[in-house]
Structure 1
Amino acid sequence: MKNFVVKTTANAAALAVAIWLLQDITLTGADTGRKVLTLILVALLFGLVNFIVKPVVQLLTLPLFILTLGLITLIVNALMLKLTSALAGAADLSFHVEGFWTAVLGGLIIAIVSWAMHIALPDED
């Protein structure tokens, strides 16, 4: 359970940094409490997408991972962020990623911040 909370917190922090740095990744809400709740729900959704969809996409694009020496990971991360944005829109959450290149940069920011958060936070169960 603790590992789940740590991963969700890291995802939420990484998403918050991407939202703060990039103007085309938006999270809107009436007040701060509503924004925090939406951010946590989007972090849960992002974690679910990364848990279910990302391994399948990585397996299907394995030759490209080898060919590009792993740089295709940036594209896969961008696609996972765009999928999260589409699912958040379908779930009536006010989170949106505008444009593919914004998603690539957002995916890079999220990967770096999430990596740093996983190092800083304990992750044992």
Structure 2
Amino acid sequence: MRILLATVLNALALGAAAWLIPGIGMTGADTSGGVVLAYLFVGAVFGVVNAVIKPLLSFVAMPITCLTLGLFAVVINAAMLMLTAWLTDLFSGLFGVEFFVHSFFWDAVLGALIVALVSAVLGRFLVTASAAPRTR
């Protein structure tokens, strides 16, 4: 259930970034249902990238992240967004959907900030809603 929730949160955050930034978007999905499924697919890819590669990259980049007082984490998040775009482009022949990010600066950096902000806000609301006492 947590994996499905994380995928939906990622899809919503990536959709918000694509809506706000012209250099981020999706191709290959024509209907509204297709767009939703495409963003869920990209959200799943983004979740796998963040679960597998991001911890390794964050560990390797820890000295520069400390030197920049944590600002390099935004660059790491932008790199994960670019990697997700590259992976969906790689598998676009299989799934018929491509998530694209035109440039690292500024599209990916601003997109990473928006994805982080939307994920944090939505995650906070979901944690608060799930922690509320239930009455019968």
Residue type of the partner of 1:19? A
Higher CA-based Rg: 2
Alignment of 1:1-125 (within 5 A): 2-28=1-27, 29-92=29-92, 93-101=97-105, 102-122=107-127
| Deviation for aligned residue 1:7 | 1.1
Coordinate RMSD, CA, aligned: 1.3
8 Å CA contact 1:6, 1:121 repeated in 2:
no
Residues 50-102 of structure 1: per-residue CA shift (max 9 Å, x gap): 00000000000010111011000110000000000000001102210100020
Residues 4-42 of structure 1: per-residue CA shift (max 9 Å, x gap): 122111111100100100111011221111111110000
Equivalenced residues, count: 123
8 Å CA contact 2:85, 2:98 repeated in 1:
no
What is the TM-score with the length of structure 2 in the denominator?
0.86
What is the TM-score with the length of structure 1 in the denominator?
0.94
Q: Distance in 2 between matches of 1:117 and 1:8?
A: 12
Q: Distance in 2 between matches of 1:118 and 1:9?
A: 11
- Please, which runs of 5 or more residues in structure 2 have no aligned partner? 132-136
Larger RCO, structure (CA 8 Å, separation 6 or more)? 1
After TM superposition, the runs of 4+ consecutive aligned structure 1 residues lying more than 3 A away are none
- Please, which runs of 5 or more residues in structure 1 have no aligned partner? none
Report the 3-state secondary structure (helix = DSSP H, G, I; strand = E; otherwise coil) of the residue aligned with 1:121: helix
